[in-house]
Amino acid sequence: MTLHSTTTADVRILTGTGDVARAAALFRTAMVGFPPSAGRDMTDLHEPGRTLGAFMDGELVGTADAYSSWLTVPGGARVPHAAVTHIGVLPTHTRKGLLTSLVHAQLADIAARGEVVASLRASEAVIYERFGYAIASRAADFELDRRRAQLRENLGGSGPVRLVNEASARKLLADIYDKVSWTGSIDRPAYWWNQRQQWAATAAGPSYLAVHGTPGAEDGFVGYHPANAAEWFGSRDRTVVVDDFVATSERAYLGLTRHLAALDLIDTVRLPLRPVDDPLPLLFTDARSARVTGVRDETWLRIVDVLAALQLRSYRRAEPLVLGISDHLLPANSGTYRIDAAGVQRSDEPAYISTDVAGLASAYLGGVRWRALSTAGRAREHRPGALAAADELFATATEPFSGTGF
C-alpha cells in the first residue's frame, strides 16, 4: 500500500518479514555506529503495519517505524501515542527529500489511527522541528562518588531489594512498569521488551537487575553493569553504569538508591537518563557526592490532534486563555483554542498567544515555559499578561521525564 509518492520515490507499508528485516538492516547502516542485527527474526521487534519503506527505482533506500503506545500527560491521563523510531535513509540517498516523504506519510498514518501525540528520540537536533516536533523533556546524567556518599539518617523508609535474573523476570518488570504515572512516561509494549532482550543478549560483560518490594508487591527495579569489566580486578576506579531505573513509589526510589550506594568494591556510579529535578544530591550529607555531568534533550513531542491533546491534560488555573495554533502539515489543527473552567474548545476569539504546533509541543508537558518560547521568538503575546497566565496554567509539579529509550 503506497502512502506517499513523489516523482522520485514511493513510500509504502512493509508487510513481508523479509522487507521488515531489510528495513532494520538499512536503519543500522544509516546510523553508521549501530551494530548489525545478527540475522534475528524481526517480526517480534516491529509492530505489524507500522514499518514504512521509501523506494527509488525499486530499491529500498529509507525507512521509518513506530509503536502504538500511551503517553502520560499532566493530570495523569494516558493518551494514545505513537513511539516513532528507526528513521533512516541510506547515506547514498540523502538530500533527496526521502526523509521528508517518510515523515509526512508517517504523520498522516498516525493521525488516521487516532493517536493524539507522537514522540521520538532525535539523532540530529536540526531535523524534526520542521515537521512539528519539539523538545518537551530533558534528561540529566548524574555521577555518584561512593567514597564521599553518605546517605542522610532521616530519609524515609524502604523495603527489601533482591537480585533477579532478567531473562526470567520479564513479566515482573513489565507489571512493575505498568504502574508508572509520572508526566512524560510512555508505554513499553511487547515490542519494546523484545528490543530490550535483544540489547541485553548482544551486550558484552555482566549485568545485574535488582527489584524493590516484597514478592507480589514489587514497585521498582534497577538494572546496571560494570563499565570497565576487563580491568575490574585491579582497577582503582571501578564504575557501575545504571541502565534502567524505575521507581513507582518514593519507597522504591529510596530503596533502589540505597542499594546502589551500598554496592561494595564500587568507586563511581553513573546514572544517565534521570529527571533533571531528581533529588539525588539532597539524599546525601555531602550533596557534592552526586553531581550532574550533563543535560540533554530527551522527548521530541509532536501534537497530532491539538484539540484532543489540550482536552486530555489538566491545568493549574481556570481563568481563560485563548491560544492560536498553526500547523502546516496537519492543517486541521490550525485555529484558535479557548482553555477555561468549562474545558477546552475551539474558538473564534482573537488569540491571547499564538505559536505553531511545535511551540505548543514544547510547552505541553510543562517542561518549557511560555515566557521562554516568547523570548526565543517561538510564541507571540497579543494580550498583556497572557504569557504569565499561560505559564501558571501549564505548570506541573515536577519536570516531565520519560526514562525510556526506543
Q: What is the pLDDT of residues 6-30, one digit of tens each?
A: 556 899 999 989 999 999 999 999 9
Instruction: Write down the catalytic residue from 55, 128, 191, 315.
Output: 128
Amino acid identity of 257?
T
Asked if residue 39 has pLDDT above 60, the reply is no
pTM: 0.93
| Beta carbons within 10 angstroms of residue 327's beta carbon | 19
* Across 116-130, average pLDDT: 94
Q: How many CA atoms, within 13 angstroms, populate the side-chain half-sphere of residue 274?
A: 26
Asked if residue 35 has pLDDT above 80, the reply is no
Closest by Cα among 363, 295, 299, 360 to 120 = 299
Asked if residue 296 has pLDDT above 70, the reply is yes
First to last CA, the chain: 26
Q: Is 27 assigned a catalytic role?
A: no
Q: What is the pLDDT of residues 330-361, one digit of tens each?
A: 999 999 999 998 899 999 999 999 999 999 99
Q: Alpha helices, DSSP H only, in 82-236?
A: 98-112, 170-177, 190-202
Report pLDDT for 182: 98
Domains and CATH numbers, the chain: 2-115 (3.40.630.30), 144-297 (3.40.630.30), 306-357+372-394 (3.30.1050.10)
Q: Is residue 292 a contact partner of residue 156, using CB atoms and an 8 Å limit?
A: no
Report pLDDT for 166: 86
Report pLDDT for 381: 98
Range scoring the smallest mean pLDDT among 1-5, 19-23, 305-309: 1-5
State the helix-helix crossing angle for 357-364 and 386-394, rounded to 10 degrees.
50
Asked if residue 183 has pLDDT above 60, the reply is yes
Strand order in the sheet with 138-145: 161-164, 208-212, 220-226, 239-247, 268-275, 138-145, 290-297
Closest by Cα among 255, 70, 94, 296 to 161 = 255
Measure the CA–CA gap between 119 and 64, rounded to whole angstroms: 13
Measure the CA–CA gap between 24 and 329, rounded to whole angstroms: 27
Asked if residue 294 has pLDDT above 90, the reply is yes
Average pLDDT, the chain: 94
Q: Alpha helices, DSSP H only, in 59-159?
A: 98-112
Report pLDDT for 232: 82
The pair phi, psi for residue 277, each rounded to 5°, is -105, 25
* Across 212-219, average pLDDT: 97
Q: Is residue 223 a contact partner of residue 242, using CB atoms and an 8 Å limit?
A: yes
Asked if residue 61 has pLDDT above 60, the reply is yes
* Across 276-289, average pLDDT: 97
* Across 302-330, average pLDDT: 95
- Cell numbers 488516521 correspond to what residue? 112
pLDDT band at 268 (very low <50, low <70, confident <90, very high): very high
Q: Is 394 assigned a catalytic role?
A: no
